[in-house]
Amino acid sequence: MSGREKILNRAVKEIKDGMCVNLGIGMPTLIADRIPEEFDVMLQSENGLLGIGSYPKESEVDADLINAGKETVTAKRNASYFDSAESFSMIRGGHIDLAILGGMEVSETGDLANWMIPGKMVKGMGGAMDLVQGAKRIVVIMDHRNKYGESKVKKSCELPLTGEGVVHVLITDMAVFEFTEKGMELVELQEGVTLEELKEATAASFIVRESVK
């Protein structure tokens, strides 16, 4: 199983029946097709759609029906459409139960950097800054190391912050961490990863929970 598959399979377990969920652009959008069919989950997109369905088959593609990442999607029965202002009112009003976002860096205190790399052109910050403040629970999914083999789980973020102390759960291809009053706690090791390998690959300091598996 690839690292990405491990991340996605673990991330979908954070979604509970009855939730209203926002999936960030990139890897988080792939979670939509993994939500159990028996779950009554409403997927919200900040560009104005509540009730996102799975990715469309070629015959179902509607170029006007897209998610925040500009990917074509389907809409569930009874889906709602609205403008961006109303969408952000939902987010800022605390009506999103869970947001699953991608990350560039996460610090040991739960800071998140995920919207820009200095010197590279960006279209804008998107909805991430609103989501990390408005959603009730924030889960970040990302590779544990960058393409140079450097840890993306850091003592402190080096890239511009999206939010300070906003991450509740971090899921990587190596481990799952929770951020509590005690600090950053290791709660699960991904299959095939040892604690020694994780410590070597992680720049941040963390506590190992007694129940870790």
Which one of the listed residues 14, 37, 38, 46 is annotated catalytic?
46
Query: Could you give the CA distance from residue 188 to residue 107 in angstroms, rounded to a whole number?
Result: 18
Query: Could you give the CA distance from residue 64 to residue 168 in angstroms, rounded to a whole number?
Result: 34
Contact 50, 82 (CB under 8 A): yes
Which tokens belong to 105? 């860096």
* Strands 169-171 and 175-180, sheet pairing: antiparallel
Query: Could you give the CA distance from residue 163 to residue 180 in angstroms, rounded to a whole number?
Result: 16
**Which residue intervals of 93-139 are DSSP H helices?**
128-134
Residue 150 known to be catalytic: no
Q: Maximum Cα–Cα distance for the chain, whole Å?
A: 51
Query: Could you give the CA distance from residue 188 to residue 154 in angstroms, rounded to a whole number?
Result: 18
**Residues known to be catalytic:** 46
